[in-house]
Structure 1
Amino acid sequence: MKNLLLAALVFCSSYLSAQNLPAIAIEDKKMDAYLMNRKPATLTVQIKNLPDSVKKINIKYTLVQLGGSMQATKYAETDATGQVKIILDENLPYQQIWLDAGNYLYTGIYVDKGLTVTVDTRKVPKDGAYMIGEGITFSGYDGELNTVMNKKVLFKKKERERLVNDLRAVCNWRKKYTADAFTFKTDSVLRLLKSIDSEFISGYPKYGWAVNNETLSEFYGEICIAYWNDTIPGQLIKQINAHQPIFTSNDGVMFYKYLGIYTMAKKRFKKESALNSIMMLCDSLYTQQRSDLLKLFLLESEKDNYARTYPMIISSIKTAWCKKIAADEMIKVDDNQKRIDSVLALSTKLEKADIGTPLIRLPFDASLYQLDTIANIDSFILNLKAKFPNKALIIDFWATWCAPCIADMPFSKSLHQKNKDLPVEYIYLCTTSSSSIDIWKNRIGEMQIPGTHIYVNDKIIARLKTVLNAEGGFPTYVVIDVNGKVNKSKITRMEALDRESLKKTVGL
C-alpha cells in the first residue's frame, strides 16, 4: 500500500511538472511524502558583458522562510565568468527570494526546482532594472513563472498599491464599521484586485493559479490583522480556512503568521501554561498540518527561552517536514547562543575596544562610527561589550529608509533621556544597504538621537543578525543584559517601554 502511495505521488509530481500546473499547497497532507527525497533547488545568477575592470559582482539574496525568522539575508560573489550558483538551504516549494545583483538588478523571484537569472549589463538601464525589463532574462525550470510574476508586479502597479492601501485603511478602522459594512468594503477592494488580476491573467492564462493564490494570501492576511483580539464572522473564517498558500513567499508566510497571531490573541492564557495552551488551541481549531505550521511561528517569540520551550514545540508538531524545520532551528539557535556566551565571557580580558572608525561626536551626546570591514564577527561583539563595561546594551538594527525604524526613534530618545541614571547603552547599527553615509548623518542630526551610532556594511549586519539569532527585517532589537545574556525578543518596539519595563528588560 505504501509503495502504491509513493508511486501515485511520483506520478502526480511528474504530471504537474509536465503541465506546469501548481504544486501541492504548503499545508497539504501529501507534503511530507513530496519533500521526503526532494533536493534543494539551485539559483544561478549570470552577469554578462561586465567591463574588464570589474572582477566580481556582489550578490545579496534574502530568503523568505518558515521557522524562527521570516527572512534570512545572505551574500555571494560571481566568479571570473560573472556567474554564481547558489544551492538553497531548504527544499521548500516555490521559495521567494529577494535578489540584489550589484547595482544592476533588484527583483523578487520564486525558486522551486531551478532558476537562472541572466543580466546583460549593456542593456539594463543606468540606474538598474526593477523586477524585470530590458537586459533581464529568467530561464530554467522556473524561468517562465518568474517572467510572468515579475511582469505582474509591474502591471497597473500604482492602481494595485492604492487598492492595497485602501484595504489596510479599512482594516485599521474595522471597529468603526458594522460587520456588514466592513465586509462590503473589503469585498469591494478584493473584487477590484481580482479585476486587475483577471486582466493580467488574460495574457498569461497558464499562470492564473499563481496570481490568484498570492492575491488571496495577501488579502486574507490583512483580514486576520483587522480581527486581532476579536472574532472573525463565521462565513469569513470559513473562506480563510479554505485558503491554502502555495508559495513560501512574503504573502504566503505572512498569511500564516497573521492567522497565528489572530488565533493566539483571541484568548488570554495563564503565563505558566501559555505555550501548551496555545498549541492545544491550534490543534483544536485547525487541521494538524495547519496547526503545525502556526506552531513554527512560536519559535521566534520563544527564542530567548529556547532551551525550555523549543523541545515542547518540537514534541507537539506531528507533520514531519515542520518538525524538521523546528529541530534544525533549535540546533542553529543553540550553536549561536553557545558561541555568543563564550565570546561575552572573554569581554573582561580586553584592553582595547575597537567598534569602527570614529567619525564625529555631536552635541546631543551622539558618537558616530563607521564599520566597513571586520576580520572576525566575534571580535566586534566582544569589543562592543568591552567598550561599555558594566552596562546593558540595547542594540537597534535599522535602515535610513525604514519607516517603522524612524517612527520608533523618538521613543528610544525619550527613554534614553529620562533614564540616564541607569547603566544602559543605546547602540544604533544602521545598514549601508540602499543608503549613504551623508543620508545616515542627516537622519541622526534631524532626530537628534543620543547614543552610539555605527554605519555598518550590510554584509556585517547580516552576519551579526545571524550570530545574535536576530535574522529578519528592520527594525530588530537585541538586548545584552547586565548579566551578559543575549535576548532577541525582549523588545518589539521602543514605544512599549517605560522605566520599569526597561529595567526588567535589561536585568536591573
Structure 2
Amino acid sequence: MKACITSWILLITVVTSLAQPVGVVAIEDPQFDAQFVQRAIPQVTGKLLHVSPQEIKETTITYTPVTLLGQKTKTAQLAADGSFQLELDYPLPYQQIWVHVGELFYTGLYANKQLYVELDVPKLKAAGKELAFKADGVRYLGEDGPLNEYMNEYILFKRADKLALSSRMRQVRQSQHPVETEALAAFTSISDTLETIQAEFVATHPSPYAWLLENERLSEFYSQICLHYRGGHAMEAALFDQIKAHKTYLRSNSSWVFYMYLSAYFRQLPPNRMIVSWRDVVHLSDLTESEKAAIDSLRSTETLSPAPAHRAQWKKQLEPRMRKLHQDRRIARGIHWLDSLYSPSRADIMKLQLNDSKDIAEQKAALEQILPSMTTRWCKVIAQKEYDHAVEQLASVNRALATSGNSPTAAGFGSPLQQTDFGATLYKLSSMSGADFLARLRQSFAGKAIVLDRWATWCAPCLQEMPHSKKLQQDAKDLPIVFVYVCTAQGSDEDKWKRKIAELKLPGIHFFIDEALDAKLGELFSFRGYPGYAFIDQKGVYKPGAITWLSVIKGKEDLAALLK
C-alpha cells in the first residue's frame, strides 16, 4: 500500500511543479508582508447601460466577497446614472466575488487591482432569462478585465462535464473505501479528467492567467482528499506533507475550503477530538448559585440506576457554560497545533478560520485568544480590524437590546420578553405542543397570512436569508401578512438569540422555542433541516411549497400573489 501511495504522490508532485507561477508571491510567503502594506484595496466598479430611472430604483446588487474568514454578503445601490461600486475590505490579490445584479445577471468576479464591469441592459433582457458569467452585453474592462474574461469563459467551458465530474468526486469522498489506495485512485482519475479538460481550454485560449486554473484545480482536489480522511483515519505522512506544501493564490471558494478542510482533517483525528462535559464546568470560578445547585444534583445522582429524569434538565442548564468552555479550549488547542504544523504565515492564516462562530460575542472572545498568538503582521492587521468590528457590533447590539418600543404582539402567548424600537417582539416558549402553538398563532393574527421562518443562530443559510426577509417586511407593510420567526434552542441560548436579532435589526414576531416544539414543527411542516419556511394564508390554510427560499420572493407583487 505504501508503494502505491508513494507513486501517487510522485505523480502529483510532477503536476504541481508544472503549475508553479513565476514572479508571483503567495500570501503565505514571507515577502507578502511588505506587499500587503504597499498594495491598494482592489477597485471594482461598473455601470448598467440604457437603464431607466425606475429600473435603477428597483435594482439592488447583492455581492459576496470570499475572504480569509469565509463569505460576507453585502449590497450596493445603483447611482442615478446606473453606476455602482463594490467595496472590499483588504488589499489582498485575486479576490473572488459572487455578484447578483437583481434578476438580470449573475457572475463571479476576480479583483486583483482594478476592474470595471459594463452591462448593457436591453441586450441582457433580450436573452429572456437570468444570465450567468458571460453574455452578449457584458464587458469586463480595466486592468483586471482580461483576467475576468478568461476565468468566466473557463467556467462555461464544458460546464456540464465539469459539474458531473465534481459530483463524482463528492460521491467518492462520501463512500466508504476499505483500501485507501482505491479512494486515491478514484480521486486521481477524476482529477486527471478535469486536468484534460483544462489543458484543452488552455491550448485553445492562451493566457498569462492559465496557471490560476491549475492552482484552483489542485485546491479543490486536495480539499476533497482532506474531506475523505476527515472521518478519523490518518493520512500517510508523505501524503499529508504533499498536501501541506500546496499554496493557494486566489481568495476563492476553492482556496477557502482548502484551508478549512485541511484544518478540519487534523482537528477531527481521534487524538485531537475534544469533548467537554458538565464535570469540566465544576472548577469555574464564576458559577451562579443555580449552576452550583445543578452540579450538586448531577453529582449526587451520578451512580443511581436508572438515572433520574431531571438529570437531562440539569445538564441542559449547564450547556451555555459547556459551549463557551468548548470554544475556548478548541481555539487554544487549534492555535497550538497550527503553530506546530505550519509556517508562521500559514498558521496565522488558518487561525483566522478558528473564528467561525455566528455569534458576535463569541467572535470577539475568539479573536481575543487568536490575536496575541499571531506573528505575521498583515494577518494581525486583519485580525485586529475584525476584532474592532466585533467590538463595535456588540456595542450596537447591546444598545438595540437596551431600548424598547411598541411592536406588534402575539396576544395568545402572554407578555413578551421584550419589544424593540426596530419592531421586533420576543417570546420564549417551552413545553408547548405544535398544535397549540399554531392555534394560538392563528388566534393572534386572525385574518392575516403568516410567513413562518424556522431558523438557528448557527445556521449560515438561515442568516444569509435574513436581509431578504427584512426587506420583504418593508414591502409587505400594507399587506395582511405577518412574519413569524421560530429559533431553535438546539445549539444556542437565549442571549445568542437576542443578540442575533438585534445585530440584524430584524422586525417581526420572534419565538425562542425548546427542542421538542422545534422537532414537532419540523414534523408538521416536513422541514428538512434549517432554514425551513411555511406559508399559512389568511383563512388559516397551510400552502405546502409556497415558499422555498425567501430570497426567491422579489417584492410586494410576489407577496401579493401569495395572498390570492
State the partner residue of 1:154: 156
State the partner residue of 1:81: 81
1:325 CA displacement? 1.5
- 2:370 alignment partner AA: I
State the partner residue of 1:296: 352
Secondary structure at the aligned position of 1:226 is classed as helix
Q: How does 1:120-269 map to 2 (within 5 A)?
A: 120-124=120-124, 125-173=127-175, 175-206=176-207, 207-228=209-230, 229-266=232-269, 267-269=272-274
Spell out, residue by residue over 1:152-197, the C-alpha distance to the aligned partner (whole angstroms, 9 max, x if none). 1111111111111111111111x33301111111110110010111
Answer yes or no: is the 8 Å Cα contact 2:96–2:250 preserved in 1. Answer: yes
Mapped partners of 2:237, 2:224: distance in 1: 17
- 1:97 alignment partner AA: I
State the partner residue of 1:311: 368
150-159 or 322-331, larger mean C-alpha shift: 322-331
Spell out, residue by residue over 1:5-51, the C-alpha distance to the aligned partner (whole angstroms, 9 max, x if none). xxxxxxxxxxxxxxx97742231221111111211111111111224
Q: How does 1:379-418 map to 2 (within 5 A)?
A: 379-380=421-422, 383-384=423-424, 386-388=425-427, 390=428
State the partner residue of 1:39: 40
Q: Specify whether residues 276 and 168 from structure 1 end up closer, same or farther in structure 2 by C-alpha distance, changes over 3 A only.
A: same
Mapped partners of 1:243, 1:287: distance in 2: 12
Give the root-mean-square deviation of aligned CA atoms: 3.8
Secondary structure at the aligned position of 2:356 is classed as helix
State the partner residue of 2:468: 458
- 1:106 alignment partner AA: Y
Mapped partners of 2:153, 2:515: distance in 1: 47
Mapped partners of 2:123, 2:199: distance in 1: 31
Mapped partners of 1:299, 1:419: distance in 2: 39
Q: Does 1:287 align with 2:290?
A: no
Mapped partners of 1:89, 1:263: distance in 2: 30
Mapped partners of 1:72, 1:190: distance in 2: 29
1:261 CA displacement? 1.3
- 1:295 alignment partner AA: K
Answer yes or no: is the 8 Å Cα contact 2:361–2:394 preserved in 1. Answer: no
State the partner residue of 2:407: 352
Answer yes or no: is the 8 Å Cα contact 1:419–1:499 preserved in 2. Answer: no
- 2:237 alignment partner AA: G
Mapped partners of 1:255, 1:114: distance in 2: 26
1:130 CA displacement? 0.8
- 1:298 alignment partner AA: L
Spell out, residue by residue over 1:426-476, the C-alpha distance to the aligned partner (whole angstroms, 9 max, x if none). xxxxxxxxxxxx9x97999xxxxxxxxxx96628479xxxxxxxxxxxx9x
Mapped partners of 2:496, 2:252: distance in 1: 38
Q: Specify whether residues 105 and 184 from structure 1 end up closer, same or farther in structure 2 by C-alpha distance, changes over 3 A only.
A: same
Q: Does 1:54 align with 2:111?
A: no
Answer yes or no: is the 8 Å Cα contact 2:361–2:390 preserved in 1. Answer: no
Mapped partners of 1:308, 1:49: distance in 2: 49
Answer yes or no: is the 8 Å Cα contact 2:216–2:254 preserved in 1. Answer: yes
Answer yes or no: is the 8 Å Cα contact 2:53–2:80 preserved in 1. Answer: no
Answer yes or no: is the 8 Å Cα contact 1:96–1:247 preserved in 2. Answer: yes
Q: Specify whether residues 46 and 352 from structure 1 end up closer, same or farther in structure 2 by C-alpha distance, changes over 3 A only.
A: closer
Structure 1: give runs of 5+ residues left out of the alignment: 1-19, 356-360, 366-377, 393-414, 426-437, 445-454, 463-474, 489-496, 503-508
- 1:178 alignment partner AA: V
Mapped partners of 1:73, 1:242: distance in 2: 31
Q: Specify whether residues 329 and 160 from structure 1 end up closer, same or farther in structure 2 by C-alpha distance, changes over 3 A only.
A: same
Q: Does 1:101 align with 2:137?
A: no
Mapped partners of 1:59, 1:90: distance in 2: 20
Q: Specify whether residues 461 and 227 from structure 1 end up closer, same or farther in structure 2 by C-alpha distance, changes over 3 A only.
A: farther
Give TM-score, length-normalised by structure 1. 0.68
1:321 CA displacement? 1.4
Secondary structure at the aligned position of 2:123 is classed as coil
Secondary structure at the aligned position of 1:133 is classed as coil
1:81 CA displacement? 2.1
Give TM-score, length-normalised by structure 2. 0.61
Secondary structure at the aligned position of 2:116 is classed as strand
Answer yes or no: is the 8 Å Cα contact 2:354–2:366 preserved in 1. Answer: no
Secondary structure at the aligned position of 1:152 is classed as helix
Q: Specify whether residues 260 and 346 from structure 1 end up closer, same or farther in structure 2 by C-alpha distance, changes over 3 A only.
A: same
- 2:407 alignment partner AA: K
State the partner residue of 1:112: 112
- 1:481 alignment partner AA: E
Mapped partners of 1:63, 1:280: distance in 2: 29
Secondary structure at the aligned position of 2:134 is classed as coil
1:307 CA displacement? 4.7
Q: Specify whether residues 28 and 500 from structure 1 end up closer, same or farther in structure 2 by C-alpha distance, changes over 3 A only.
A: farther
Q: Identify which of structures 1 and 2 has the higher relative contact order when contacts are C-alpha pairs closer than 8 Å and 6+ apart.
A: 1
Mapped partners of 2:330, 2:190: distance in 1: 37
Mapped partners of 2:192, 2:98: distance in 1: 28
Larger radius of gyration: 2
Secondary structure at the aligned position of 1:247 is classed as coil
Answer yes or no: is the 8 Å Cα contact 1:131–1:150 preserved in 2. Answer: yes
Mapped partners of 2:56, 2:345: distance in 1: 47
1:292 CA displacement? 0.9
State the partner residue of 1:412: none
